[in-house]
Structure 1
Amino acid sequence: MPKVKKVPLRMCIGCQQMKPKRELIRVVRTPQETVEIDPSGKKSGRGAYICADIDCLQKAIKGKRLERALERSISPEIIETLRQGLVK
């Protein structure tokens, strides 16, 4: 019998749904206190996962879920950078 590989699940902070880790985008607060998108998913720092959907980002910002998850206040410049990163 073949061994079934376990797929890691993470919760999107926008829509609050559990999805495979590969389908989500990781937003990380680095040790230098910057917030950025982590395409590799391996940068060090505190991370939060979000769908590649503008609606999920809006929900996360409006409900202050992104700030709570990263334990840091998010500036409008960082929010705009995240929007640009999700559009690509």
Structure 2
Amino acid sequence: MKILTVCGMGSGSSLILKMNVDSLLSSMGVDADVEVCDLGSAKGTDADLIISTTGLQSQLEDVNVDKIFITNVINKEELSTELTKYLNK
């Protein structure tokens, strides 16, 4: 599974998301390739899942990939809940 964590520039909140996703997936025993990506590059990259903030939701609507949007990049509980829902569907 390939997961992109996306923010506007690809180096701030997306990096925090990547570290949190890596940690959560490891504790769940899920193997995935998690990459940091900027908004522009996300639109042309193959991935199974994009994780980003609600602030970028409208700009990622046209990307035909499953998406998770969260409100707070440092809130692991919110991320864990949404990631678990996605993995269990």
The structure carrying a bigger helix percent of its residues is 2
More contact order relative to length (CA 8 Å, sep ≥ 6): 2
The structure having more radius of gyration, on CA atoms, is: 1
Fold in common (TM above 0.5): no
